């Protein structure tokens, strides 16, 4: 047996992309459909309190991504619900949590959690 060709392929690391100038960003979508349960119920994914399932997920994923984001501004959308602050009277399948359709970004992961609550 004779080896005719040999090729080494290097898999880039996450940091290789950053060094190459790639920008990392995070877009968050929050599911407000009825299947998540009523926020007043303790077993709801949106249960009222300091650390429900959504707050935990936003904090865990966002905490990893945020340090690498160049401006720490994150577009955040809701779906399957109504943003009462925007005057909605029917369910929307895509609305900015910021309440501003022309600027859906929120500053920092802490800002996302605050806007969500």
pTM, to two decimals = 0.81
For residue 40, what pLDDT is reported? 80
For residue 89, what pLDDT is reported? 80
Helix, strand, coil percent content, the chain, rounded in steps of 5: 30, 15, 55
DSSP states of 37-76: --TTSTTSTT-SSS--HHHHHHHHHHHHHGGG-SS-EEEE
Question: Can you tell me the distance from the alpha carbon of 83 to that of 47, in angstroms, rounded to the nearest whole number?
Answer: 17
Residue 93, domain extent: 33-116
CA 95 to chain centre: 14
pLDDT digits (tens, 9 = 90+) for 65-88: 999 999 999 999 999 988 877 777
Does any domain span residue 11?
no
Task: Count structural domains, the chain.
Answer: 1
Does any domain span residue 69?
yes
The CA–CA distances, whole Å, from 113 to 6, 74, 82, 95 equal 51, 12, 18, 16
For residue 102, what pLDDT is reported? 96
Does any domain span residue 2?
no
pLDDT digits (tens, 9 = 90+) for 15-60: 899 899 999 899 999 998 888 888 788 788 877 777 888 899 999 9
């Amino acid at each position: 047996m004779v080896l005719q060709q040999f090729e080494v392929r290097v898999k880039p690391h996450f940091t290789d992309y950053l060094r190459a100038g790639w920008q990392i960003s995070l877009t968050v979508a929050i599911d407000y459909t009825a299947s998540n349960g009523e926020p007043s119920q303790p077993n709801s994914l949106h249960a009222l309190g300091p650390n429900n399932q959504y707050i935990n997920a936003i904090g865990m994923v966002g905490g990893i991504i945020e340090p690498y984001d160049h401006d720490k501004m994150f577009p955040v959308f809701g779906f399957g619900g109504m943003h009462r602050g925007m005057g909605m009277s029917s369910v929307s399948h895509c609305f900015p949590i910021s309440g501003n359709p022309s600027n859906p970004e929120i500053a920092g992961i802490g800002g996302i959690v605050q806007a969500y609550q």
